[in-house]
């Protein structure tokens, strides 16, 4: 029915067990065995349903800081949007800006990145201010240059305000006396971006965003890789210690390890072999 797995900060899968349901009682034995490993002493954990079962995880791992995973947090809203809408991808980019930001303002990392983008040392092409501004409004800026910047999650009250601004920016209807809307109907499908579930999803996220902030300081959340002495740009790279992105990338491989149509012994063997090979690759 399901698989319960845990990823470490470096990307390896610490445990992966097939379970008959998503109930805590079915994964409890695996969690307790994991907590008994002498080399597994996590300072913090991220879960897709935190703070649910807080008492259980405290008993299993002791005094541990728990947080809600950013991926699942944003997916609660994204899954309610219409994918065929003309503003779909732009709205997702703006939603990410409402929940987290790159540490532009009090670090020299962003300044150094702008310098090498404008003089062409990073990509071989000189970027103007307009080029950089257009890149930041798309997903490509994060994909190409997030290695050189450290991401911070917004504080609770600031995130709630930004989520409300995001909602007003893309909704198409408003009641009397409320802020004017900024959204539009898709010119082809004649549908709005939001569905009937979007408003409730945003309201729920505004309540749960207090569980989203990083449990450690920004310096502790990243491993720093100094620039190679032969590097033309000389930028440092930052590897995030948030294990959630690694875990979600592992989930993309699960369909190749086994499925419900197989006999249990074959699914178990494929799951174990696939997980082990993923760890070796990582």
Q: Hunting for tokens 């390890």 — which residue is that? A: 257
**139: pLDDT strictly greater than 60:** yes
Distance CA 42, CA 224 (A): 20
What proportion of the chain, given as a percentage, has pLDDT over 90? 21
At 156-182, the pLDDT tens digits run 999 999 999 999 999 988 777 677 888
Q: Which residues contact 209 (CB under 8 A, 6 or more apart)?
A: 73, 99, 156, 159, 160, 163
Which is higher by pLDDT, 199 or 58? Answer: 199
Inter-CA distances, 173 with 44, 230, 258, Å: 41, 55, 46
The reported pTM is 0.77
φ and ψ at 62, to 5 degrees?
A: 80, -150
Looking from the CA of 186 toward its CB, the CA atoms found within 13 Å total: 16
- The most confident of the ranges 157-161, 217-221, 223-227 is 157-161
Determine how many CB atoms are found less than 10 A away from the CB of residue 45. 17
Rounded CA separation 174/177 (Å): 8
More confident residue, 161 or 1: 161
């Amino acid at each position: 029915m399901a698989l319960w797995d845990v990823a470490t900060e470096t990307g390896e899968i610490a445990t992966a067990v097939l379970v008959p349901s998503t109930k805590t009682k079915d994964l409890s034995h695996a969690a307790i065995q994991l907590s008994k490993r002498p080399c597994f002493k996590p300072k913090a954990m991220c879960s897709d349903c935190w703070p649910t079962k807080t008492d259980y995880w405290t008993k299993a791992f002791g005094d541990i800081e728990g947080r809600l995973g950013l991926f699942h947090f944003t997916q609660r809203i994204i899954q309610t949007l219409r994918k065929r809408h003309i503003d779909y991808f732009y709205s997702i980019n703006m939603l990410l800006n409402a929940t987290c930001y790159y540490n532009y303002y009090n670090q020299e990392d962003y300044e150094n990145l702008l310098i090498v983008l404008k003089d062409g040392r990073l990509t071989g092409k000189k970027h103007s201010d307009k080029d950089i501004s257009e890149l930041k409004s798309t997903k490509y800026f994060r994909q190409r240059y997030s290695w050189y910047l450290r991401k911070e999650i917004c504080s609770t009250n600031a995130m709630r305000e930004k989520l409300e601004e995001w909602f007003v920016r893309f909704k198409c209807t408003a009641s009397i006396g409320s802020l004017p809307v900024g959204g539009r109907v898709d010119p082809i499908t004649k549908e709005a971006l939001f569905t009937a579930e979007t408003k409730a999803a945003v309201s729920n996220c505004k309540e749960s965003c207090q569980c989203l902030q990083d449990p450690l300081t920004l310096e502790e959340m990243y491993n720093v890789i100094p620039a190679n002495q032969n590097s033309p740009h000389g930028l440092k790279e930052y590897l995030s210690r948030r294990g959630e992105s690694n875990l979600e990338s592992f989930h993309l491989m699960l369909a190749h390890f086994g499925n419900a149509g197989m006999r249990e012994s074959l699914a178990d063997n494929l799951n174990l072999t696939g997980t082990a090979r993923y760890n070796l690759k990582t």
